[in-house]
Amino acid sequence: MRLSRYFLPVLKEDPKEAQIVSHRLMLRAGMIKQQTAGIYSWLPLGFKVLRRVEQIVHEEQQRAGHIPLLMPTLQSADLWRESGRYDDYGEEMLRIQDRHKRDLLYGPTNEEMITDIFRSHVNSYKDLPLTLYHVQWKFRDEIRPRFGVMRGREFLMKDGYNFDLTKEDALHAYNRHLVSYLRTYERMGLQAIPMRADGGPIGGDYTHEFLVLAETGESEVFYDSQITDLTFGDRQINYDSVEQCQAVLEEFTSRYARTDETHDEAVFAEVPEERRRTARGIEVGQIFYFGTKYSEPMGATVVGPDGQRVPVHMGSHGIGVSRLLGAIIEANHDDRGIVWPEGVTPFHVGIVNLKQGDNSTDSACDAIYAELQARGLDPLYDDRDDRAGAKFATMDLIGLPWRITVGPRGLAANKVELTNRRTGATEEMSPKEAIARLE
Ligand code: ATP
Ligand code: MG
Ligand code: MG
Ligand code: MG
């Protein structure tokens, strides 16, 4: 993309409404625009990162054997009356009436709808196990939407639902989700710690929240510092193996790590004092097993091996896709702007032309730009007629991991500069070498 043809409305001043750094940087980098409280437009740069985050979520869900579909944002209130949640859910639910005075709602989550799909089409235990998921906009009328996309009212969530014959099978699905979530967050350059959590309105005894440690996080968390040494890394896992998935769950949940809702001072006191940590965290996902809570009242049953109909065991598993952008920035920035992890960066590299309009500099930049594209990379070329300082500031603000700086003086010796955004390290090399380094 050539910056002169792009739409990147960066702000020079810090917006006053932003209280935390990720919100401030998303506004300044021209990623989002608030339309009304907690509701945002995703401008091109923000939309690009959102799609990259979503893509990683899709890849890791499908790697785990989970099947994508798409349910609508609007739901019939009748479904929620069947489960009993229409009245329970409270004011976070946005209720709507259509012209026929039928009650609808903008879905805050999809347990009822997916259970309805399941019961309409699945009859036999032979069709299990089954995990269906989608990535779709949700609406929750949060009393205090704040921190930009971190606590929006309309937000993008991946929510997946498993259907199994037995509790044992459903717990395997739970473990599969835990593993796939660890992989998902790590690919985004995040450490998200599974912490024992509280069932809340979705219900259920087995539940973990995934928290990214950050001072601006809204949850208070308590953990054994040993947990932060764990990484999933590039180990191979067979998602069909009950033992392998169970082993990962045990490894990642055996140390003390809880949110304030389940925190227990007495148990925490058993952790050696020098390893006890109290901190704040951002909830970027949550997994639940809740058994037959929805399948029973809604009649989602299958015929088992013995010919008897039984309600299926279910769980639901969410990732805050749009919130993740805030969490990634909270964890990856400096005083000049965002520092995107390679896995989610909107462009792989920025090209800065120090002397726009100079024939040889322009054609060197054009050649680098074309060559990077030919190699499947996505460069952002700042081809505007602007001061070098302003171009550098924009590149630093939007946080691309690499910058190639091209000017007439360097070109005379066949050199450009390659700069790493995270370390600031700059090296001189030929354009050819710079391109090869980025592949
Ligand atoms: P919170 O405790 O932050 O209100 P939640 O526990 O109500 O979140 P879940 O029902 O567990 O949310 O939804 C799954 C994921 O969706 C959460 O882990 C979070 O990452 C994301 N999420 C929930 N509410 C919002 C929101 N208002 N804005 C952005 N993301 C959200
Ligand atoms: Mg909530
Ligand atoms: Mg929560
Ligand atoms: Mg939650």
Q: Is 337 near ligand 1, meaning CB less than 6 Å away?
A: no
Instruction: Grade residue 203 by pLDDT with cuts at 50, 70 and 90.
Output: low
DSSP secondary structure letters along 326-341? HHHHHHSEETTEE---
Residue 140 CA: which ligand is closest?
A: 1
Give the whole-angstrom CA distance, residue 296 versus residue 327: 37
Instruction: Choose one of 260, 283, 289, 324 to mutate for the ligand 1 pocket test, by most ligand atoms within 8 angstroms of C-beta.
Output: 283
Q: How many CA atoms lie within 13 A of 168 on its CB side?
A: 3
Eight-class DSSP state of 2: B
Q: Is 40 near ligand 1, meaning CB less than 6 Å away?
A: no
Give the whole-angstrom CA distance, residue 59 versus residue 280: 29
Give the CA distances from residue 47 to residues 146, 186, 302, 346, 373, in Å, rounded to whole numbers and listed in that order.
20, 21, 41, 9, 20
Give the CA distances from residue 11 to residues 40, 238, 403, in Å, rounded to whole numbers and listed in that order.
17, 47, 21
Q: Is 211 near ligand 1, meaning CB less than 6 Å away?
A: no
Are the C-beta atoms of residues 165 and 304 closer than 8 Å to each other?
yes
Over residues 57-80, the pLDDT tens digits come to 999 999 999 999 999 999 999 999
From the alpha carbon of 153, which atom of ligand 1 is closest? Answer: 27
Is it the case that residue 121 has pLDDT exceeding 90? Answer: yes
For residues 188-195, give the mean pLDDT: 97
Taking CA atoms only, the protein residue closest to ligand 1 atom 22 is: 320
CB atoms within 5 A of ion ligand 3 belong to: 283
**Cα angle, residue 22 at apex, residues 16 and 24 outer, rounded to 5°:** 20
Instruction: Grade residue 196 by pLDDT with cuts at 50, 70 and 90.
Output: very high
What is the Å distance from ligand 4's center to 163 Cα? 20
Is it the case that residue 205 has pLDDT exceeding 80? Answer: no
Are the C-beta atoms of residues 343 and 325 closer than 8 Å to each other?
no
Q: How many CA atoms lie within 13 A of 189 on its CB side?
A: 20
Instruction: Choose one of 206, 260, 323, 328 to mutate for the ligand 1 pocket test, by most ligand atoms within 8 angstroms of C-beta.
Output: 323
Taking CA atoms only, the protein residue closest to ligand 1 atom 19 is: 320
> Measuring CA to CA, which residue among 364, 401, 340 is closest to residue 22?
340
Is it the case that residue 202 has pLDDT exceeding 60? Answer: no
Strand partners, 319: 158, 285
For this complex, say whether ipTM is above 0.95: yes
Residue 218 CA: which ligand is closest?
A: 1
What is the Å distance from ligand 1's center to 152 Cα? 9
Is it the case that residue 111 has pLDDT exceeding 70? Answer: yes
DSSP secondary structure letters along 138-179? EE---SS-BTGGGB-SEEEEEEEEEEESSHHHHHHHHHHHHH
Residue with tokens 């014959």: 165
Q: Is 326 near ligand 1, meaning CB less than 6 Å away?
A: no
Over residues 299-308, the pLDDT tens digits come to 999 999 999 9
Q: DSSP E strands: which ranges in 176-215?
A: 192-196, 206-213
Instruction: Grade residue 96 by pLDDT with cuts at 50, 70 and 90.
Output: very high
DSSP secondary structure letters along 231-274? --TT----TT-HHHHHHHHHHHHSS-EEETTT--HHHHTTS-GG
Q: Is 125 near ligand 1, meaning CB less than 6 Å away?
A: no
CB atoms within 10 A of CB 421: 24
Is it the case that residue 190 has pLDDT exceeding 70? Answer: yes
Give the whole-angstrom CA distance, residue 108 versus residue 104: 12
Taking CA atoms only, the protein residue closest to ligand 1 atom 4 is: 151
Instruction: Grade residue 199 by pLDDT with cuts at 50, 70 and 90.
Output: confident
Taking CA atoms only, the protein residue closest to ligand 1 atom 24 is: 151
Q: pLDDT value at position 221?
A: 97
Is it the case that residue 204 has pLDDT exceeding 70? Answer: no
Give the whole-angstrom CA distance, residue 263 versus residue 148: 28
For residues 281-289, give the mean pLDDT: 97
Taking CA atoms only, the protein residue closest to ligand 1 atom 1 is: 283
Higher pLDDT, 200 or 218: 218
What is the Å distance from ligand 3's center to 208 Cα? 10
For residues 174-194, give the mean pLDDT: 98
CB atoms within 5 A of ion ligand 4 belong to: 286
> Can you state the angle between helices 242-253 and 167-187, rounded to 10 degrees?
60
Give the whole-angstrom CA distance, residue 246 versus residue 181: 14
For residues 47-65, give the mean pLDDT: 98
Give the CA distances from residue 336 to residues 24, 52, 68, 331, 406, in Å, rounded to whole numbers and listed in that order.
12, 23, 39, 14, 21
Over residues 322-375, the pLDDT tens digits come to 999 999 999 999 999 999 999 999 999 999 999 999 999 999 999 999 999 999
What is the Å distance from ligand 3's center to 170 Cα? 22
> Measuring CA to CA, which residue among 293, 397, 390 is closest to residue 30?
397
Average predicted confidence (pLDDT) for the chain: 97
For residues 259-283, give the mean pLDDT: 96
> Can you read off the two tokens belonging to residue 33?
């625009």
From the alpha carbon of 209, which atom of ligand 1 is closest? Answer: 18
From the alpha carbon of 152, which atom of ligand 1 is closest? Answer: 28
Give the whole-angstrom CA distance, residue 201 versus residue 213: 24
Q: pLDDT value at position 128?
A: 98
> Can you read off the two tokens belonging to residue 412?
């005379």
Q: Is 283 near ligand 1, meaning CB less than 6 Å away?
A: yes
The DSSP bridge pattern shows strands 416-420 and 402-406 to be antiparallel
Q: pLDDT value at position 377?
A: 97
